[in-house]
Copies of this chain bind each other. A is one copy, B any other.
Amino acid sequence: MTATLGDIAAVCDAELQGDPASKIFNVASLRNSAPGDLSFFVNRYFHADLEKTRATAVVLAATDAPACPTARLISSDPYLAYAKAARFLNPIAKFSPGIHPSAVVNASADIAADCFIGANSVIGGNVVIGSGSYIGPGCVIEAGVVIGSQCRFYPRVTLMERVEIGMRVLLHPGVVIGADGYGIANDSGRWLKIPQLGNVVIGDDVEIGANTTIDRGSLENTVVETGAKIDNQVQIGHNTRIGEHTAIAGAAVVAGSVKIGRRCMIGGASAITGHIEIVDDVVITGMSGVSNSIKQAGVYSSGVPVTDNKTWRKNMARFRHLDEIARKIARMEKLVNK
């Protein structure tokens, strides 16, 4: 879509230094932009690109304005301003409502007239789908699922029985919500499966990435609250609750019966043990392991960064004896103090 720089400045709450009548067609990176593009600058790494950009305008902070050779949209949060401009210029694609003839829709399903159901999707009994929702091809929505309005499911999403989905929820391909939690009890060396009788409840404005899995509760529900954003290949165990506006990056693993607060940020490839609680506003950096409750907001880490293999081998050989080393130090300290 086309807009004027003036329109965009208003949309993203930025101060315009340039011609408000300039036409903007889309967003682009500093390096690949051409006249008609809007770009943004937030990362020092791209400073050389800023100085050479061919974009019609650039969103950036006031302090970076002097280096910008073209029109500027000055913002105290250029990334957010860019996000707003990009959304304005790229509204969600419209679709023609309808049920593809190859879709298999149970007669008892209650699907709003302005929905789309893609080719080869399967919709079970008593499913309810709210107004304006889009179900891509190859999805399987099992019996009793309730889906709010304005949702968008990409291909091959699976929702198991009775799962409840809020409004404007975005599910990427391969997502599985409501499979059985991992509940087993040991019976003289054999595992007995425990029926998983809870449900999964997803709030409004939640986005869930490709091939992510969220298990149904054992007795109570697994819950993802409003505004949470979950990346690809995340695993969320049964009975877990993810708080409002919490973000979980790729391949993080949250075990069962965990309670994560609001506005947390869980780094990629992190793992969170079962039966613990993390309060609001906690940041876990990437590849960290959380094995105890976190009771105070703040940033927490445990990822071990690489060194060259030779150094790592030596350090690991010592690490295996860290307690002995510490004891040795304590003994020496006594001697030295004498």
**A interface residues, Cβ below 8 angstroms from B:** 26-29, 32, 43, 45, 77, 79-80, 82-84, 86-87, 90, 100, 102, 104, 118-120, 122, 136-138, 140, 142, 154-156, 158, 160, 170, 172-174, 176, 179-180, 182-187, 189-195, 197, 205, 207, 209-211, 213, 215, 219-220, 227, 229, 231-233, 235, 237, 245, 247, 249-251, 253, 255, 263, 268-269, 271, 273, 275, 283-292, 294, 298-309, 311-323, 325-326, 328-329, 332-333, 335-336
Give A309 to B294 CA distance when docked, in angstroms.
Answer: 13
Whether B185 contacts A176 by the Cβ 8 Å rule is no
A290 / chain B contacts, CB cutoff of 8 Å: 305-306
A190 / chain B contacts, CB cutoff of 8 Å: 205, 227, 245
Whether A284 contacts B298 by the Cβ 8 Å rule is no
Whether A308 contacts B317 by the Cβ 8 Å rule is no
In the A-B complex, the 8 residue pairs with the closest CB atoms = A83-B185, A269-B271, A314-B323, A299-B309, A140-B155, A301-B312, A104-B119, A300-B306
* Nearest chain B CB to A213 CB, angstrom units: 4
**How many copies of this chain does the complex contain?**
3
A197 / chain B contacts, CB cutoff of 8 Å: 26-27, 86, 90
Whether B250 contacts A251 by the Cβ 8 Å rule is no
Whether B213 contacts A209 by the Cβ 8 Å rule is yes
Give A332 to B328 CA distance when docked, in angstroms.
Answer: 11
